[in-house]
């Protein structure tokens, strides 16, 4: 994906990302489909390019602290109820991407390539590629109020 700022590009490359990177997604697909979470096209495309990356960052960000995150769906294993409930509530199909802040939060992606922070509440980092920039640069996600539940 082109158009990354030099800072974001540096962080991604330091995490092992390269342009044209492709990793297999079949194991993640079968793992989650076994519990009723279907990998949609946006999840597959994102994970083929970024799956398996561990992004080690910290310090102050734009309007929140920069927090490390790991893009490995297996880290959200056992959280299928949470992902299914929020998918139903939001009217979007969330597929697990991994974890944020050493497992304090989970990350998911919907079929429109919007990346979500998933906990007992949800917040949007926005659509790709802005979502990844927001994660790396420390931009506060937009929290979805409980009234939508």
Give per-residue pLDDT as tens, 82-113. 999 999 999 999 999 999 999 999 999 999 99
Cβ pair 116, 124 in contact under 8 A: yes
Residue 1 lies in a domain: no
What distance in Å separates the CA atoms of residue 6 and residue 121, rounded to the nearest whole number?
32
Confidence check: pLDDT of 149 > 50? no
Where does the pLDDT of residue 2 fall: very low under 50, low under 70, confident under 90, or very high at 90 and above?
low
Mean pLDDT rounded to a whole number for the chain: 94
Residue 146 lies in a domain: no
Range of the domain at 123: 6-141
Nearest alpha-carbon partner for 47 in 14, 80, 70: 70
Confidence check: pLDDT of 117 > 90? yes
pLDDT 10s digits, 38-74:
999 999 999 999 999 999 999 999 999 999 999 999 9
Residue 149 lies in a domain: no
Q: Exposed (0-12), middle (13-18) or buried (19+): which is 20, by Cβ within 10 Å?
A: exposed
CATH at residue 54: 3.40.1580
What DSSP state is assigned to residue 140?
P
Residue 148 lies in a domain: no
Confidence check: pLDDT of 133 > 70? yes
Residue 83 lies in a domain: yes
State how many domains the chain has: 1
Mean pLDDT of 32-42: 96
Alpha helices in the chain (DSSP H): 6-14, 26-33, 41-50, 80-90, 130-137
CB atoms near residue 87 (< 10 Å): 20
Quickly list DSSP for 17-32: --TT-----HHHHHHH
Residue 82 lies in a domain: yes
Residue 74 lies in a domain: yes
């Amino acid at each position: 994906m082109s158009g990354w700022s030099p800072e974001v590009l540096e962080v991604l490359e330091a995490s092992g990302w390269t342009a044209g990177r492709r990793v297999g997604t079949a194991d993640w697909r079968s793992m989650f489909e076994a519990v009723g979470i279907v990998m949609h096209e946006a999840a597959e495309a994102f994970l083929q390019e970024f799956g398996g990356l561990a992004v080690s960052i910290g310090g102050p960000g734009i309007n929140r602290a920069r927090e490390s995150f790991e893009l490995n769906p297996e880290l959200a294993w056992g959280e299928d109820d949470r992902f299914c409930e929020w998918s139903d509530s939001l009217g979007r199909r969330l597929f697990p991407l991994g974890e944020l802040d050493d497992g304090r939060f989970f990350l998911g992606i919907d079929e429109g390539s919007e990346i979500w922070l998933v906990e007992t509440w949800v917040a949007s980092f926005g659509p790709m590629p802005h979502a990844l920039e927001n994660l790396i640069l420390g931009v506060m996600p937009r929290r979805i109020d409980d009234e939508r539940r």
